Amino acid sequence: RVLIEAMSDEFDASTLLDTDEQLSFRRPGIGRDVVHKLRAGYWSIQRHMDLHGLRTEEARDAVGAFVRHAQRAGVRCVRVVHGKGLGSPGRTPVLKGRVHSWLIQKNEVLAFVQARPAEGGAGALVVLLAPGQVQRNAALVAEELWLQQAQESAAPRDPVAEQIEYWAAQFRSGKSKKT
């Protein structure tokens, strides 16, 4: 389990990032329209985490746990604030590139883009997660209900049973009593 969830600091994510006006990432099979929608705010941010003040090792563990728990809870869109590096030695971002690399290594992550200015801009990422178990279960339940309703509506109605139900309802309401 530990090896499956391990994220490396040595992983070079630069070859996997789309270099447009802002860095973005999408897994193979995920269309460019998903990145465009993510950048435009199509999905509302459901949770966020701020890595300011964390050391690299702490941040790596925090990102891994955050993504894992959010996805399992059925959360689809999150924001990860890594900072712009203004408070770091040399005023260069320490975590920014590493967060990109860590997120790419997480199978739960489908895509990410640089946040819009109001959401943190160059100091944050908006991340789209794969549907979690909660959403898969809800989809299965909805499908089962739909199939059940389709079967019930297709079943032939028994006119005798319907008449008996009608008389029983009248009897319970007192309408069948003679005065």
Reference 73, options 40, 46, 100; nearest CA is 46
Q: Are 13 and 99 in contact (CB under 8 A)?
A: no
pLDDT in tens, 96-150: 989 999 999 999 999 999 999 999 999 999 999 999 866 666 666 676 777 777 6
The 10 Å Cβ neighbour count of residue 34 is 19
Reference 25, options 83, 96, 109; nearest CA is 109
Classified as helix, coil or strand, 130 is: coil
Confidence of residue 4 (pLDDT cuts 50, 70, 90): very low
Residues found in the chain: 179
The pTM score is 0.65
Residue type (1 letter), 79: R
pLDDT in tens, 136-174: 666 666 767 777 776 666 666 677 777 777 777 777 777
pLDDT in tens, 28-73: 999 999 999 999 999 999 999 999 989 999 999 999 999 999 999 9
Strand order in the sheet with 109-114: 18-19, 23-26, 109-114, 124-129, 77-81, 47-50
